[in-house]
Amino acid sequence: MKIETGLFDHMVLQRNRKNVSEAAFTGLCATRGPIAATVTRGKRAVKVLDSAPVGTASRGRMQGCIKGLPAGGPYAIELRVGGEKLVVKDVLVG
């Protein structure tokens, strides 16, 4: 599992007028199915996105969007498809 566009370690996402962000992502993935996401701040899950499906994977590709991440951070965003997992660390929203 590898992200090609949209989400990377140590990035700052732009917030909107509602003080939340929306970040689309694409990448490569060997597994197919829904993409689940868990967002944490420290050791606490962010309830808005806790284990919510955020996209799909098929034919070696994945795409999705993390919506509603509140201003602040730093966040860790864990993406999962089947047995594959990827964590994007130190994400801020400002």
pLDDT interval class at 69 (50, 70, 90) = very high
At 49, which CATH number? 2.60.40
Residue 9 pLDDT? 98
Q: What are phi and psi of 21, to 5 degrees?
A: -115, 165
The secondary structure of 18-65 as a DSSP string is TSEEEEEEEEE-SS-EEEEEEEEETTEE-TTTTTEEEEEEETTEEEEE
Indicate whether 13 pLDDT > 90.
yes
pTM of the full structure: 0.90
Give the model confidence (pLDDT) of 14-40 as tens digits. 999 999 999 999 999 999 999 999 999
Cβ density class 50-81: b for 16+ within 10 Å, e for less: eebebbebeeeebbbebeebbeebebbbbbbb
Q: What domain range includes position 57?
A: 2-93
Indicate whether 50 pLDDT > 60.
no
